[in-house]
Structure 1
Amino acid sequence: MKITKAEIVVSAVKPEQYPNDQLPHFALAGRSNVGKSSFINKMLNRKNLARTSSKPGKTQTLNFFNINDQFYFVDVPGYGFAKVSKKEREAWGKMIETYLTTSKNLRAVIEIVDIRHQPTEDDKLMYNFCKHYEIPVIIIATKADKIPRGKWDKHVKIIKDSLQLDPNDPLIIFSSETGRGKDDAWAAIQQYMYSDATDVVK
């Protein structure tokens, strides 16, 4: 996909702040520091559009990125290691849950996991949450450049088994360093781009 426009248009915490057009949304979920910002920047050919940080928990809002005036990437707060209070985590959880279960424009969740490690309990919870609400999921197994290519299949099997991955859900091996998997990720996203939103969020 040729990217001619990519900009953050709003940081929202409640539904009335979401963009009020009807463009498709793709939510990006993953544990803190898994590489969501790097994924966004690589996919959109931008170096610093999504800010990367060594401090987990930097994203505290739903950040809507307008892409080509055709769709949105929605970066949600990372789960897991963020050094925030229990009250803040609960607020984030409610904010994310509200968005995922009420957005009429959500087409799929792009769940990012680290190919080097078995998915965490939080990764499993997110995947199972999406399956419960019948939200399509695209799994991105990032940081593929960090392990030898000969070990990819072994690690992919661990991810599939751990998540009990639905065979219909794409799992894409990805590297933000090399761009490996970028075309496959766009192909998976475009499959859901023009699906009927009423078929996605129940």
Structure 2
Amino acid sequence: MSNPLEKARYLGSAHTPAQLPADGGLEVAFAGRSNAGKSSALNALTRQNALARVSKTPGRTQQLVFFEVQPQRYLVDLPGYGYAKVPMEMKAHWQGFIDRYFRQREALRGLVVVMDIRHPLKDYDRQMLEYAVARGLPAHALLTKADKLGRGQQAQALQAVRKELQATFGDAGIGVQTFSSESKQGVDEARAVVAGWLELL
């Protein structure tokens, strides 16, 4: 099966709004707390082992990293926070930068929030989903590391997250699925969502 995301390549990083690429084309942002498996998910979706660097040190992504899938089509890796070793002023800088990015970025077409299936819907995850809902953007939650749980536990976790999202956001249309970059569970499903937002299907 052909993979519309497999040609993704590193384009550049932005630490300030001035460093962002021109606001054209379509882009999908990926957010996730440190150690939720975001880099592994990006690598699994693009079928590349080292597109997003998987770091043993959580919180290493400290800028918006842009990957070009094809001209005018981008994946954007957001900094993974919720990790204590980041100085407060850096957190404040990121808060402002991300806030502005979500409010003003015309190219943004959807948000994927990556969360460990064993610890879903922490404050950071909710905040990211709130950004998407406030802007009327589609959002999709990947419950990663699903291979760490049995099928029954996975189903329970999925149901619990769905229920909580419904209670918090109503019919905002946030998708949720189980995912494992190790076993490749849910990879095709997630890839189809992202490729659809980027109008690659």
- Normalising to structure 2: TM-score of the pair? 0.89
Q: What corresponds to 1:136 in structure 2?
A: 138
- What percent of counterpart residues are identical? 36
Aligned residue among 102, 122, 125 for 1:123:
125
Aligned residue among 177, 183, 191 for 2:196:
191
| Count of residue pairs brought into register by the alignment | 195
Distance (whole Å) between structure 2 residues aligned to residue 126 and residue 42 of structure 1: 22
Q: Aligned-pair distance for 1:190?
A: 3.0
What is the aligned-residue RMSD (CA, Å)? 1.9
Question: Any stretches of 5+ residues in structure 1 without a counterpart?
Answer: 195-202
Q: What corresponds to 2:107 in structure 1?
A: 105
Q: What corresponds to 2:75 in structure 1?
A: 73
Distance (whole Å) between structure 1 residues aligned to residue 16 and residue 7 of structure 2: 25
Q: Answer whether contact 1:56 1:83 (CA < 8 A) is retained.
A: no
Question: Any stretches of 5+ residues in structure 2 without a counterpart?
Answer: none
Q: What corresponds to 2:26 in structure 1?
A: 24
Residue 84 of structure 1 aligns to a residue in which SS? Answer: coil
Q: What corresponds to 1:87 in structure 2?
A: 89
Distance (whole Å) between structure 2 residues aligned to residue 37 and residue 84 of structure 1: 19
Residue 119 of structure 1 aligns to a residue in which SS? Answer: coil
Q: What corresponds to 1:8 in structure 2?
A: 10
Q: Answer whether contact 1:36 1:112 (CA < 8 A) is retained.
A: yes
Q: Aligned-pair distance for 1:17?
A: 2.1
Q: What corresponds to 2:38 in structure 1?
A: 36
Distance (whole Å) between structure 1 residues aligned to residue 109 and residue 195 of structure 2: 10
- Normalising to structure 1: TM-score of the pair? 0.88
Q: Answer whether contact 1:124 1:163 (CA < 8 A) is retained.
A: no
Q: Answer whether contact 1:130 1:136 (CA < 8 A) is retained.
A: yes
